[in-house]
Amino acid sequence: MKDKDLLEAWNRYVATGDMAAFGQVYKALYDDTLYFAISKCNGIQLEATDIVAEIWEKLMVKKSHIEGNVRSYIFAVIKNTIIDILRKNNRIVSNEIPENTLSESMKSAFLEEDEKKEHDLKIRRCLDEKEYILITQFGYLMQDGHDRQEANKLLAEASGKALQTINNKRSSIMKKLKKCIKQ
């Protein structure tokens, strides 16, 4: 769901109480909010699932008008809620949650500009021509701002194949690539 559609759905919920509109926002953003909270709660012994549940309930009841980006708004609410909980428990004195630094395993996923070519060659060696073209095109579409579903749909249209076929093809390429890169 695009950011503007999320904002439209949210404001429809605020204006009319349309629960289907609330459901659309919830469905689109729950996972993102949980992952965000999991990271913020990491190492401070708070249960991310409970905090996220409490925040969605608060959002549903309060029906606050949002300007700008719905996801960013909810992320800010999560961050502030965690700060409030920690402050109540005398666990922080400032307005900040202790910051996590990039974990070592994430750092290992980082490439330097000059490693890009080698990285692409590695992927190229693992796949046949058609498979390589498909994932490269998928990459371009994602960089252009399309989400996964749109990218797969555009690839299906361009190749004249069914969307499900493209989805399956991409899944099998990723499995093959994962296996090959591990070796």
Partner 1 sequence: MTNTDNNSYSNFYDSKLIVEFLQGLLPGDLHLKIQRQIKASEVFRTYVEGVQINFEKSGKNFEKMEADVAAKKAQTWSKLQRKMESQPTLSEKITYTLEQLKDFFLPNPQLELELQPTRAADTSQVQISINDTNKILRLILGEKNTQVVDFEIFDNKIKSIQQHKIPAGAEDFALPTASMHPGIYYAEFRPEEAEDYIISFYIQKNLKPS
**Which residue ranges make up the site for partner 1 (CB under 8 A)?**
2-3, 17-20, 23, 26-27, 30-32, 34-40, 42, 48-49, 52-53, 56-57, 60-61, 67-69, 71-73, 75-77, 100, 102-103, 105-106, 109-111, 113, 116-117, 119-120, 123, 135-136, 138-140, 142-143, 145-148, 174, 177-178, 181
Does an H or E element contain 57, and which?
Answer: helix 48-62
Closest to partner 1 by CB, 90 vs 102, is 102
Rounded distance, CA 119 to CA 132, Å? 13
The residues, any chain, with a CB within 8 Å of residue 97's CB and separated by 6 or more, are: 40, 44, 79, 82, 83, 86
Closest to partner 1 by CB, 90 vs 129, is 129
Closest to partner 1 by CB, 90 vs 99, is 99
Please report how close the Cβ of residue 99 comes to partner 1 at its closest, in angstroms.
Answer: 8
Please report how close the Cβ of residue 76 comes to partner 1 at its closest, in angstroms.
Answer: 5
Please report how close the Cβ of residue 88 comes to partner 1 at its closest, in angstroms.
Answer: 20
Are 24 and 51 in contact by the 8 Å Cβ rule? The answer is no
Rounded distance, CA 120 to CA 127, Å? 11
76 is written with which tokens? Answer: 């800010």
Are 38 and 88 in contact by the 8 Å Cβ rule? The answer is no
Please report how close the Cβ of residue 146 comes to partner 1 at its closest, in angstroms.
Answer: 6
131 is written with which tokens? Answer: 């498979």
Closest to partner 1 by CB, 73 vs 159, is 73
